[in-house]
Amino acid sequence: MKHPNLGRRAIVVGGSIGGLLAARVLSDFFDDVVVFEKDPPEESMEAPFKPRKSVPQGHHLHILLSGGEAVLSRLFPGIDRELVKRGAIKADFGRDIRWYLNSRWFPRFDSGLVVFLQSRPLLETVIRRRVARIANIRMAYGHRVCDYCFTPQSNMVDGVLLIDKFEGKTAHHADFIVDATGRGSLLPKWLEKKGYGAPKETLVGIDLAYSTTFFHRGTEPHTGAAMTACHPDPPNELRGGVAIAVEDDRWQVTLAGYHGDHPPTDENGFKEYAAGLPIPQIYEMIRPLKPVEPIRRYHFPASMRRHFERMSRLPDHIIAIGDAMCSLNPAFGQGITGCALEAALLHKELSCAAERRASLTGLARRYFKGAAKIIDEPWELSAGENFKYPATTGKRSLFLPLMQWYRDRILSSSDPAVIYQFYRVMHLMDSRYSFWSPRLMTRVLMSQPDSSAPTLEPVFDEALERFRT
């Protein structure tokens, strides 16, 4: 839907999924949108889809949760049908997923929460194809942005500087800029260089590594589920694994381990590692199969978030999206969905400015404050689990033991309503604060937990010990 014009040109730096979603949003408000991407264009928009060169995690598992699917369907009507047409598996998260978490299998039921299972390259290619159809968006491949253009008098970023081995440096004006260059974004150092100071970073060191490959499957998943997921139960278990049905009749299998217990990249070692998971199902599935692609490993030393929202001063007309703001532990698969919600937030802020026919001054600060609330949701979920490992590094809250106890009660509940609400929070459909509503708290505390449910005594002991130190 086209809105009142907010400027002549907007620039997106980085053609990742976050950059593509930002470009789609900006196309509603600016005459022209240019996406500068350092990688060359894909050789083909058709299958088999391959990860881009600068997305090393592109070989690994990515799913689209319900919160992300809802945003994508608003930005690209009919994209759900296009994903399925190209081979993605549409699944009900409660019914079609077998999930082992907190040392137990979660009950399966019709949840109405839709997930799309596919390789990352398929999802990215479908989004890229939809963006390419938008008349006022231009994809500029093979272009590297090395700096931002800045007008100190107006406190405004008004362009980017490209570097080319033949043409040298060239400036390109813009009325608005989105940095979608990922964890290696140059924006923090640029802000520091210009006197704003760098955003403070929060790191949670988890020393996670995961290895992924693909196996051929029949036309129907033979495990009785479109996805089987096993999460380790900290602190005693370090290994987890996920097997999902993806396009081209393949299983995509990812094995992961924390704090040095990392999966190997040879076939025998990969299968032996799978045999050491807390459940046998993934190993039994892959044991007789041969990988159809090399086994690739990716090391993820720490989750990271940059607190742009806490900065006392910010320049106008520039924001960041996706991993440039926060790089989440991939274990819960919330990264793409979080990025989609940030794009939806950007659309909301631009719409408000357009309706008021206001300038873009102050929009960046409002956006970063809103984005921080979005990031808080998946960040708190993963950090709470990660800090159960003594080896995990990072600042622990005084109330962390109590929060972990309550979350474990939720995950141990036998009440389907409690499990359903946990799913909604995990899919970024509801806030984690919904767990604290009187109705749900009553159900959590009154529900008959399984035998692994924790008691409060060690929680109080740990909290008191933290207070003493």
Same domain, 229 and 368: no
Mean pLDDT of the 259-288 span: 97
- The yes-or-no verdict on residue 292 having pLDDT over 60 is yes
Question: Could you tell me if 455 and 323 lie in one domain?
Answer: no
Q: What is the pLDDT of residue 220?
A: 46
Section 49-60 average pLDDT: 66
> Would you state the pLDDT for residue 329?
93
Task: Name which of 120, 171, 183, 126 is nearest 145 in CA terms.
Answer: 171
In a domain, 83, yes or no: no
Tell me, yes or no, whether 258 and 361 share the same domain. Answer: no
Same domain? For 186 and 310 the reply is: yes
Dump pLDDT digits (tens) for 163-189.
Answer: 876 677 889 999 999 999 999 999 999
Is the domain of 257 the same as that of 328? no
Q: Which domain holds residue 452?
A: 400-468
3-state secondary structure 285-333: HHCCCCECCCCEEEEEEEEEEEEHHHCCCCCECEEECHHHCEECCHHHC
Q: 25 lies in a domain?
A: yes
pLDDT by residue (tens digit) across 218-271?
644 445 789 999 999 999 999 999 999 999 999 999 999 999 999 999 999 999
Average pLDDT of the chain, as a whole number: 90
Q: Does the global pTM surpass 0.85?
A: yes
Question: What's CA 151's distance to the chain center, in Å?
Answer: 33
For residue 362, the domain's CATH number is: 3.50.50.60
- Please indicate, yes or no, if residue 447 is contained in any of the structural domains: yes
Neighbours of 138 (CB within 10 A): 13
pLDDT score, position 466: 42
User: Is residue 255 a part of any domain in this protein?
Assistant: yes
* pLDDT value of residue 460: 43
Give the Cα separation of 339 and 321 in Å (integer): 7
- Same domain? For 236 and 158 the reply is no
In a domain, 371, yes or no: yes
CATH of the domain at 218: 3.30.70
| Same domain assignment for residues 182 and 207 | no
Cis peptide bond N-terminal to 235, omega within 30: yes
The band of 153, judged by pLDDT with boundaries at 50, 70 and 90, is confident
Do the Cβ atoms of 408 and 422 come closer than 8 Å?
A: no
User: Which of 269, 301, 333 is the C-terminal boundary of a domain?
Assistant: 301
Task: Measure the N-to-C terminal CA separation of the chain; round to a whole number of Å.
Answer: 56
Within a domain: 370: yes
Mind giving me the DSSP string for 98-153?
Answer: EEEETTEEPP------EEEEEEHHHHHHHHHHHHHT-TTEEEEET-EEEEEEEEGG
Note whether 50 and 160 are same-domain residues.
yes
What's the structural domain count of the chain?
3
Does any domain span residue 79?
A: no
Residue whose C-alpha is closest to residue 229's, from 210, 255, 206: 255
**Quick one: pLDDT band at residue 325, thresholds 50, 70, 90?**
very high
Q: Are residues 317 and 376 in the same domain?
A: yes
One domain for residues 196 and 217: no
- Select from 301, 323, 351 the last residue of a domain: 301
pLDDT band (50, 70, 90) for residue 39? confident
How far, in whole angstroms, is CA 178 from its chain's centroid?
A: 18
Q: What percent of the chain has pLDDT over 70?
A: 89
Predicted confidence (pLDDT) per residue in 427-456, tens digit: 999 999 999 999 999 999 987 666 554 444
Residue 465 predicted with pLDDT over 60: no
Domain presence at residue 437: yes
Verify that 30 and 136 share a domain, yes or no. yes
Q: What is the DSSP string of 398-457?
A: TTHHHHHHHHHHHHH---HHHHHHHHHHHTTSS-GGGGGSHHHHHHHHHS---TT---SH
- Could you say which of 381, 408, 436 is where a domain stops? 381
Residues 50 and 188 in one domain: yes
